[in-house]
Amino acid sequence: MQNLGSKLFGLLVVGLLASLLYFTVFSDGLGKAPKVNVKTAQGQLDLSLPRKPVLVNFWATSCPGCIAEMPHLAEMKRELGDRFELVAVAMQYDPASQVQKFIESNPYPFTFVMDTDGKIAQAFGDVLLTPTSFLIAPNGNIVYRQIGEVQFDLVKERIKQMSPQL
């Protein structure tokens, strides 16, 4: 009887992992990423079909939670390296000079983008609150959305699942 319980538990775990993999990589999850291009150090990045996972993080210099999570985002980027892209989008209402000063004072290893006209935030469903983050799978599906600070362990695991070959 105990052996049967162990087998059922094992099947349940395998089923849950298979479901997670399906919803993370193959399903539409939380919808498709919008057709937005951002400039990175490597060139243009199409967020609707990024070829590798991309974490898009909307932030502002006036947001204490945003500033607090930046070192953790940098640590995750250093740990996972080229397995994913990280794009930090400064909100439209954030003064450009303030954003530039922050970026110069904090040379984090990811891409910063100014959303000067608010179109990026609008494309992602009218993002108003910061921090707000979206994880986009290589197929363009949004597989994670978080208003508030990123759940780092969860996001790292999903990135590893979507980029096992790297």
pLDDT digits (tens, 9 = 90+) for 124-151: 999 999 999 999 999 999 999 999 999 9
Q: Supply the pTM of this predicted model.
A: 0.81
CATH number corresponding to 30-162: 3.40.30.10
Residues of the chain above pLDDT 70, percent? 83
In the prediction, which pLDDT does 3 show?
A: 74
pLDDT band at residue 25 using 50, 70 and 90 as cut-offs = very low
Give me the phi and psi of 152, to 5 degrees please. Answer: -60, -45
Cα 57 versus chain centre, distance: 6
Q: Within the chain, how many helices (H) and strands (E) appear?
A: 5, 7
Domain boundaries, the chain: 30-162
pLDDT digits (tens, 9 = 90+) for 40-64: 877 899 999 998 999 999 999 999 9
104 or 17: which carries more pLDDT confidence? 104
**Helix ranges (DSSP H) in 38-95:** 64-80
- Give the CA radius of gyration of the chain: 18
Taking 70 as the threshold, does the pLDDT of residue 92 lie above it?
Answer: yes
Give me the phi and psi of 11, to 5 degrees please. Answer: -65, -40
127 or 16: which carries more pLDDT confidence? 127
